[in-house]
Chain A
Amino acid sequence: MSKYLASRLLQTIPTVFLVTVAVFLMLHLTPGDPAEVFLGDKRSTPELLEKVREDMGLNRPLHIQYLSYMSAALRGDLGRSLQTNVPVMDQILTRLPWTIELAAAALLLAACVGVTVGIIAALRHNTVIDTLAMAFALVGISMPVYWSSLLLILLFAVRLRLLPAIGQGGLERLILPATALALVSAGSLARMVRSSMLEVLNQDFVLTARAKGVTERLVVVRHVLRNALIPVVTILGLMLGNMLSGAVITETIFARLGIGQKYVEAVLQKDFTMVQGTTLFIALMYVFVNIVVDMIYAFVDPRIRYV
């Protein structure tokens, strides 16, 4: 196990390196001068531009800039936002809890709904209930999150005035964005759980258990569910990716203070240092979350080879 962990971590080193290089190069491949962005829509003279460039270190050779960026990044310093002059790391850390709150709530909701619907569909295979459940799942995965978000706002905030449409803090502001974000994942989870249950239901040990006269409930709980849920773990990482990219949109629509919303804003404003820092942060977080998911998978399913 520890050997697997070590090799898995070792494998990520080149990935992480490539990610940092790619993220860094982004700033220099992008048309539009960071110094211009810094100066904004007002006064600008060639001398002033040159001064800003010099201050920002943009006149140094690329590899020097990369090394100094990375050595600062390792110390937790991702530079300052071009728009607000606020340390990028501060921005990320104040927003991270809100994004985690949203992603965790959505993940929980998706897991509850998705697994339940999937199980019911599998147990009622080829009945109306199964068809309805799968129709629900299909609609779920076919709804663009920006549209379901708008529909939820329209229905619950504008028409019924039941829940606040925007902002963060408190359960009532979490329900709508988390629901919008959970829909897609709930749909794909339901489909996944159903097919994996169906597979297990037809396997020998289940048939044996049934033949031995074990009650159906016990068969399902003890034998089917345990085995059927193992593959579900594999898509946890994928789902987290969905959550993060979905958060980019839901946070924007629901005006939630979060990393995703800041990210879109930074891309649109060409706040290079902000984009760079946030991309780096999200990418690294995602890589390590995936390692953790792999670990969990290796743990729950002993059949996996430790390569």
Chain B
Amino acid sequence: MKHLNRFSVIVLAALLVVALVSAPLSAQDEVTLTFGISRGVDTLDPTATTFSSVEVIVGHVFETLVKQQPLGVYHPGLATDWSVSDDATEYVFNLRDDVSFHDGTPFNAEAVKYTFDRIVDPDTKSQMAFSFIGPYAESEVLSDYSIAVRFSSPNAAFLDGVSHSQLGPISPTAVEALGADWGFSGIVGTGPFVFESYVPDSEVIMVKNPDYNWGNADVFGRSGPTDIDRLVFKILTDPGTRLAALESGEVDMIDNIPGLDVARLREDPSFVVTQYDQAGHGYSFMFNQIKSPTDELAVRRAIAQAIDIDIMQDIVYDGLGSRACSALTKSMFGWTDAFCQANPYDPDAAGAILDEAGWVMNDDTGIRERDGAPLTIEHWSPDRPLSAATAQFLAEDMAALGVDFQINLADIAAYLTVVRAGEHNTQQWWDTQTDPDGVFRTLYHSSNAGGGTNRNNYVNADMDAMIDAAVGIGDLDARATAYAEIQQKLAEEVVMVYFNDPVVLYASTPNVHNVTILGGGFVPNFYSATMGM
């Protein structure tokens, strides 16, 4: 009995040694990078998604025709070169002839046409991609590897659009084969990673595409297959959860660090914090011009001047980012510092403006009135911590001004119903964009008023003309001047109030290197990443 015991101990020990020797080998063989992403996923279908954040994930599976880095500078992607007609209504792309989709389908001009046509097909109900593709008219296959894309009106922003993976070519065979499950149980592109699995609200896993050989070395510093064997996106929408996952080593890198933890992480040598100025449109405040009293310029100007935006940076934004000046964040083409103090903080002047407009203080209620009607602002916002803090901050400054500021935090559906119908006075806004045309068109063009994204319901023929003209200007200096004029007009009419230009914050362990950050700071790309001390 004793001998047997000793014998089995020896066998077990031997097995253990074998296990110990072999296990680390196989684990070291495979390089895994896990990223904790703060925003959720609606669908992985790049043409149908309504979330700009989905680009962070699907950008690894779908290669784009052109690469943009930094903003405004374009490099070859799946397209080797391209030409744009003078009026920016026709783009001709020459394509690589050595590329195939992950499912073996050859990549060619037909696949590009299929992708673009699918975006404008009403059945796709495309959102992000639809706005990137602009006034698309048609695609013509000129040859197997050459395609012309035409627009019904000038579209200088199309190179930007086509640099987003929402316009990245999708495999026609895979789309047809998967049907309703496309974007959920499978996605097939030409990128450096092959989709493996997706558990909603939990994770997306992809693996290295060993055949990938078309990376742009100017953008990524490499062109062959990636070093990362396995790329995992863990969806961690709760800030505390995300941070804890990094601290416990479950993920290698996260985005959107909770503001109050940034300083601590910066001092901790076991983490690396990187920061980028966010492109597009920062945290801001819209006035609905089809509802009283925000249809009045005096009311808008008074409110703009009554908000203590400087102290707001600390109280609401945890001291991160910087005070905003206009609809464009500081990293955007067309930004200028000329309008930072267009409507400076001055509560007394704000009160005087309202007095002059006939809104006089009722000392019993503390609310201003005109003809017996109180000065009431109905503020609507989806219920998120930052929006709630912003709204309550504003409420205090509005109370001091004598404005009855009613906060309505609502679920997304109720909020959308109200603001699309134009029943709100004010709402908050934030958006990532990479081209100024997108920002101005989304917010100030009449085509987006009346239920669209222009919830200012600002309808002004001059402004429409200015926006439409600017997008067609090829000369960069002239285009920048045109955008400065637009910003001046917006400041004069106090169409919106701009609070904060956010920063995009990433934290990682010191093991993660060479991550390429695209999309003006918003889109990390792990194709070039390496792991190691």
Residues of A within 8 A of B238 (CB): 166, 255
Among A38, A80, A84, chain B packs the most CB atoms within 10 A around the CB of A84
Among B131, B413, B420, chain A packs the most CB atoms within 10 A around the CB of B413
* A208 CB–B CB distance under 8 Å: no
With A41-B50, A48-B125, A164-B248: A94-B200 Cβ-Cβ less than 8 Å:
yes
Question: Which of B170-178, B239-247, B475-483, B505-513 binds A?
Answer: B239-247
Task: Say whether A41 contacts B200, CB under 8 Å.
Answer: no
Task: Say whether B131 contacts A42, CB under 8 Å.
Answer: yes
Residues of A within 8 A of B43 (CB): 84-85
| Chain A residue at minimum C-beta to C-beta distance from B429 | A41
Complex Cα gap A270–B415 (Å): 11
* A37 CB–B CB distance under 8 Å: yes
* B10 CB–A CB distance under 8 Å: no
With A37-B412, A270-B414: A164-B244 Cβ-Cβ less than 8 Å:
yes
With A42-B127, A43-B453: A36-B413 Cβ-Cβ less than 8 Å:
yes
Residues of A within 8 A of B245 (CB): 166-167
With A33-B417, A40-B50, A255-B241: A84-B200 Cβ-Cβ less than 8 Å:
yes
Residues of B within 8 A of A255 (CB): 236, 238, 240-241
Interface residues of B in 214-256 (CB under 8 A from A): 236, 238, 240-241, 244-245, 248, 250
With A42-B50, A257-B201, A269-B411: A85-B127 Cβ-Cβ less than 8 Å:
no
* B416 CB–A CB distance under 8 Å: yes
Residues of B within 8 A of A269 (CB): 411-413
Complex Cα gap A81–B122 (Å): 20
In this complex, the interface size class of chain B, counting residues with CB under 8 Å from chain A, is 35 or more
Task: Say whether B248 contacts A36, CB under 8 Å.
Answer: no
Task: Say whether B240 contacts A166, CB under 8 Å.
Answer: yes
Task: Say whether B452 contacts A44, CB under 8 Å.
Answer: yes
With A33-B417, A86-B200, A165-B240: A43-B42 Cβ-Cβ less than 8 Å:
no
With A31-B417, A269-B412: A44-B451 Cβ-Cβ less than 8 Å:
yes
Task: Say whether A166 contacts B201, CB under 8 Å.
Answer: no
Interface residues of A in 123-137 (CB under 8 A from B): none
Task: Say whether B240 contacts A39, CB under 8 Å.
Answer: no
With A42-B128, A44-B420, A167-B241: A270-B451 Cβ-Cβ less than 8 Å:
no
* A32 CB–B CB distance under 8 Å: yes
Chain B interface helix/strand/loop/mixed: loop
Residues of A within 8 A of B201 (CB): 84, 91, 257, 262
Task: Say whether A85 contacts B411, CB under 8 Å.
Answer: no
Task: Say whether A165 contacts B244, CB under 8 Å.
Answer: yes
Q: What would 28 A/B residue contacts be, using CB atoms closer than 8 Å?
A: A31-B414, A31-B417, A32-B414, A33-B417, A36-B416, A36-B420, A37-B416, A38-B125, A39-B50, A41-B412, A42-B453, A43-B452, A45-B451, A45-B452, A47-B122, A51-B125, A80-B180, A84-B201, A85-B180, A85-B184, A90-B200, A94-B199, A165-B240, A165-B241, A166-B245, A167-B244, A255-B236, A267-B411
Residues of A within 8 A of B359 (CB): none
* B143 CB–A CB distance under 8 Å: no
* A83 CB–B CB distance under 8 Å: yes
In this complex, the interface size class of chain A, counting residues with CB under 8 Å from chain B, is 35 or more
* A52 CB–B CB distance under 8 Å: yes
* A10 CB–B CB distance under 8 Å: no
* A268 CB–B CB distance under 8 Å: yes
Task: Say whether B244 contacts A268, CB under 8 Å.
Answer: no
Task: Say whether B183 contacts A85, CB under 8 Å.
Answer: yes
* B130 CB–A CB distance under 8 Å: yes
What residues of chain B have their CB less than 8 Å away from a CB belonging to chain A? 40-43, 45, 48, 50-51, 122-123, 125, 127-128, 130-131, 180, 183-184, 199-202, 236, 238, 240-241, 244-245, 248, 250, 383, 411-414, 416-417, 420, 451-453
Among B41, B51, B244, B245, chain A packs the most CB atoms within 10 A around the CB of B244
Among B51, B131, B238, B453, chain A packs the most CB atoms within 10 A around the CB of B238
Residues of B within 8 A of A85 (CB): 42-43, 45, 48, 180, 183-184
Complex Cα gap A43–B244 (Å): 36
Interface contacts beyond A165-B241, A166-B245, A268-B412: sample of 16 additional A-B pairs, CB < 8 Å, sorted by A: A31-B417, A42-B50, A42-B127, A42-B453, A43-B452, A45-B452, A80-B180, A81-B200, A83-B42, A90-B200, A94-B200, A166-B240, A166-B244, A267-B411, A268-B383, A269-B412
Residues of A within 8 A of B240 (CB): 165-166, 255
Residues of B within 8 A of A37 (CB): 412-413, 416
With A51-B122, A164-B244: A36-B183 Cβ-Cβ less than 8 Å:
no
| Chain A residue at minimum C-beta to C-beta distance from B248 | A164
| Chain B residue at minimum C-beta to C-beta distance from A38 | B125
Expressed in whole angstroms, the minimum distance between the Cβ of B421 and any Cβ of chain A is 10
Complex Cα gap A51–B125 (Å): 9
| Chain B residue at minimum C-beta to C-beta distance from A262 | B201
Complex Cα gap A270–B416 (Å): 11
Expressed in whole angstroms, the minimum distance between the Cβ of A173 and any Cβ of chain B is 10
Q: Which 8 A-B pairs have the closest CB atoms?
A: A270-B413, A32-B413, A40-B50, A166-B241, A255-B241, A42-B127, A255-B238, A86-B200
Interface residues of A in 30-87 (CB under 8 A from B): 31-33, 36-48, 51-52, 80-81, 83-86
